[in-house]
């Protein structure tokens, strides 16, 4: 039943990639707003999302490097750097005694 419902709701073919990007962006927004408000669970969830982003874009970086795509390499390096910076921020701000975290 659930599979039939999903296949009826989600389009197939060339528009599937747009839905995947939209769903991923929605997850980041739904975690990002509580992250800004200082929720502890959102910080942990953002850490997991950043690790996934780093792994994904390291793969993009490697594929673009092997194909000789300089623009892809620079884009992948920028995204890995931003995600790494966010992970560093999460590690530094992970003090348990912070009164702002709920």
CB distance 31 to 53 below 8 Å: no
The candidate with the shortest Cα–Cα distance to 42, out of 81, 93, 79, 78, is: 93
55-92 pLDDT, tens digit each: 888 888 899 999 999 998 998 899 889 989 988 888 88
Q: Is residue 20 part of a domain?
A: no
pLDDT tens string 24-52: 888 888 998 998 888 888 888 988 988 88
CB 36 within 8 A of CB 47: no
Whether residue 33 lies inside any domain: the answer is: yes
Residue 6, in any domain of the structure: no
pTM of the entire predicted model: 0.69
In a domain, 66, yes or no: yes
- Domain of residue 63, residue span: 28-92
Establish if 73 belongs to a structural domain.
yes
Q: Does the residue 75 lie in any domain?
A: yes
Sign of CA dihedral 62, 63, 66, 72: negative
- 1 in a structural domain: no
**Count of structural domains, the chain:** 1
């Amino acid at each position: 039943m659930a599979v039939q419902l999903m296949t009826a709701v989600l389009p197939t073919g060339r528009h599937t990639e747009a839905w995947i990007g939209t769903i991923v962006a929605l997850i980041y927004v739904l975690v990002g707003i509580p992250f800004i408000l200082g929720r502890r669970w959102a910080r942990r969830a953002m850490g997991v999302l950043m690790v996934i982003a780093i792994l994904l874009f390291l793969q993009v970086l490697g594929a673009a490097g092997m194909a000789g795509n300089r623009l892809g390499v620079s884009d992948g390096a920028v995204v890995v750097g931003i995600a790494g910076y966010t992970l560093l921020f999460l590690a530094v701000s992970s003090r348990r005694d912070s009164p702002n975290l709920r």
